[in-house]
Amino acid sequence: MTTEARRMVHAIWLRAMPVVFVLLWSTGFVGAKYGLPYAGPLTFVALRIFLVILALGALVALGRVAWPARRITLLHSAVAGLMLQAAYLGGVFTAIAHGLPAGTVALIVGTQPLLTAGLAPWLLGERISRQQWVGFLSGLAGVLLVVWSRLAWTGDFATGLGLACFALLGITFGTIYQKRFCVGIDLRLNLLGQYASTFLVVLAAAALTEDLHVTFSPVFIAALAWLVLVLSVGAVLLLMTLIRHGEAARVVSLFYLVPPVTAVIAAAAFGETLSVAVLGGIALTAVGVVLVNRG
């Protein structure tokens, strides 16, 4: 392949990365729904993270990744991991396990772009234009339309609501922290540091609150393999790449697409129908993302 051809392929891949990321990330709720009947939520997350560490460790060793000159960089990766992985994953899985509908969790976490946009000017010095604010509000309206009909006051709603908000705060501040302090380290090593710190915290929490029992059914194994290889390695590497190449507020606007795309995937996987509200929400969300990224 010629140098020009490689540049063209690279340019196409850069443009396709946001679409691929949204499609992969949206399968996370579906994978959780398939796997949670066979393990406690924190046990599930801890096992997932342990396997991810093995996979990333192999990538780091095979790629002969150079360790950063400053060890403080690895500490920053560990701190980002506690927010991006432990708080977010733990919050989402335990919120669903406490009876909060997956659509409700998607709605709460889907407000992340608006929260990040509000914080980015003060924490990162990024300027948010009026057009981008309109895009954020349009995206939020689309998310509300998609999941509104799925809201249900069943189960331990208050606990689930608090856990989902905890996940929202984790991924919001984790994204900002990652953008500010973790840009000078190889992505594979960065993720390895994130997951290593997360594993210790989640495993300790699982040991204190759950029996650590896992039923290794074919469904659970398939869900676990998908969440490890596709989500925790593939999608997160894409997320870190997108953060590194763009403004934090612009990158996280992609998360507005996750609840609508999740609804489409759930319709295909579980036979759920797509209502007019869902289709309208998808359209509003798409408009919002376009406004944010062109603002």
What values do phi and psi take at 156, rounded to 5? -80, 75
- Output the pLDDT for position 222: 94
- Read off the tokens for 36: 């949670």
Largest separation between any pair of C-alpha atoms in the chain: 59
- Output the pLDDT for position 208: 93
In a domain, 281, yes or no: no
- Output the pLDDT for position 28: 83
Lowest mean pLDDT among 16-25, 70-79, 112-121: 112-121
- Output the pLDDT for position 6: 79
- Output the pLDDT for position 187: 75
- Output the pLDDT for position 136: 83
In a domain, 177, yes or no: yes
- Output the pLDDT for position 247: 60
Say if residue 151's pLDDT is above 90.
Answer: no
- Output the pLDDT for position 292: 76
Say if residue 34's pLDDT is above 70.
Answer: yes
Q: Report the candidate in 198, 268, 275 with the shortest Cα–Cα distance to residue 236.
A: 198
- Output the pLDDT for position 248: 61
Q: Using a pLDDT cut of 70, give the percent of the chain over it.
A: 91
Report, as an integer, the average pLDDT of 117-122: 73
Residue-averaged pLDDT of the chain: 81
In a domain, 276, yes or no: no
In a domain, 166, yes or no: yes
pLDDT tens per residue, range 172-188: 888 888 877 877 777 77
Q: Report the candidate in 169, 193, 174, 224 with the shortest Cα–Cα distance to residue 39.
A: 224
CA angle (227 as vertex; 114, 19 as ends), nearest 5: 50
- Read off the tokens for 27: 């399968």
Query: Could you give the C-alpha distances from 143 to 78, 233, 293, in angstroms and in order?
Result: 31, 26, 17
How far apart (Å, rounded) are the C-alpha atoms in residues 67 and 75? 13
Domain count, the chain: 1
pLDDT tens per residue, range 243-267: 777 666 667 677 777 878 877 787 7
In a domain, 215, yes or no: yes
What values do phi and psi take at 99, rounded to 5? 100, 0
Half-sphere exposure of 210 (CA within 13 A, CB side): 20
Domain range for 215 is: 24-128+153-250
Say if residue 204's pLDDT is above 90.
Answer: yes
Q: Which residue has the tokens 């989902």?
A: 164
Say if residue 199's pLDDT is above 60.
Answer: yes
In a domain, 240, yes or no: yes
In a domain, 245, yes or no: yes
Lowest mean pLDDT among 33-47, 60-74, 220-234: 60-74
In a domain, 260, yes or no: no
